[in-house]
């Protein structure tokens, strides 16, 4: 269990670090250097851990021992005045995080398909988050577990963060399709703390029924020809 927990944590920390680094890099390129100056445009997890120790260390470990999988969070700082002046740019910045998770889904999926085609991996009957495939030898077992977690975890992070509920990324991204005036009013409303708390609570309850078909579709695409 400790070995599995270590693999889960490597996958979780890398995924969440890439997500936040993508936010920070996009903000920097779009005119807000706040996260860049704070050292967040990096794949080094330490700046992200220092900023959100509970969400990147304590919560993942607790959730693993309580539920068998990891959840948590990190954050990249941004200038709310910049976002208020540039709501559409802020929307694109918000989409950068889920886009990074989608990139990891594609990359890990490609490696899983390569392993299946070469015989290094074989389909797993369980299809759990940590075992989409299994290694055909002792040397490939760890890689099978790591890639399985990377794939399923990033499908989850991609889908969850795209929910159009505050304070999730999908909520801020809605500003892209709104008029400038409507986007400003919308983002001002979304920044109220009570709205964010209610949004997270609602997202927690509705995500399960949404995630199951999304994950099933992703697995069907990944394992096409092997199921």
List the chain domain ranges: 2-222
pLDDT tens, the chain, 227 aa long = 899 999 999 999 999 999 999 999 999 999 999 999 999 999 999 999 999 999 999 999 999 999 999 999 999 999 989 988 999 999 999 999 999 999 999 999 999 999 999 999 998 877 789 999 999 987 899 999 999 999 999 999 999 999 998 889 999 898 898 888 888 887 777 777 787 778 888 888 889 888 999 999 999 999 998 87
Spatial neighbors of 127 by CB under 8 A, at least 6 apart, are: 219
Alpha helices (H) in 119-225, listed in sequence order = 138-161, 169-173, 180-190, 193-222
Query: Which residues are CB-contacts of 179 (< 8 A; sequence separation ≥ 6)?
Result: none
What's this model's pTM, rounded to 2 decimal places?
0.93
List the catalytic residues.
20
Instruction: Report the pLDDT value the prediction gives residue 7, as an integer from 0 to 100.
Output: 96
Query: What is the rounded CA–CA span in Å between residue 194 and residue 191?
Result: 9
Give the per-residue pLDDT at 180.
81
């Amino acid at each position: 269990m400790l070995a599995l927990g270590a693999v889960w944590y490597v996958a979780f920390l890398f995924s969440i670090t890439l997500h936040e680094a993508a936010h920070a890099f996009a903000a920097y390129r779009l005119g807000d250097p706040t996260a860049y100056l704070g050292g967040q445009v990096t794949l080094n997890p330490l700046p992200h851990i220092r900023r959100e120790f509970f969400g990147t260390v304590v919560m993942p470990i607790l959730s693993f021992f309580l539920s068998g999988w990891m959840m948590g969070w990190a954050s990249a700082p941004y200038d709310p005045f910049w976002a208020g002046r540039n709501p559409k740019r802020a929307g694109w910045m918000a989409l950068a995080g889920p886009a990074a998770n989608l990139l990891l889904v594609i990359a890990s999926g490609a490696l899983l398909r390569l392993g299946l085609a070469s015989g290094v991996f074989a389909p797993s009957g369980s299809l759990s988050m940590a075992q989409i495939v299994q290694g055909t030898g002792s040397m490939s077992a760890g890689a099978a577990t790591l890639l399985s977690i990377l794939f399923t975890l990033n499908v989850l992070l991609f889908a969850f963060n795209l929910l159009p509920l505050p304070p999730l990324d999908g909520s801020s991204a809605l500003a892209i399709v709104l008029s400038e005036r409507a986007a400003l009013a919308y983002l001002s409303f979304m920044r109220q703390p009570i709205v964010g708390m209610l949004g997270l609570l609602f997202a927690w309850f509705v995500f399960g029924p949404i995630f199951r078909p999304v994950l099933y579709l992703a697995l069907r695409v990944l394992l096409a020809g092997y199921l």
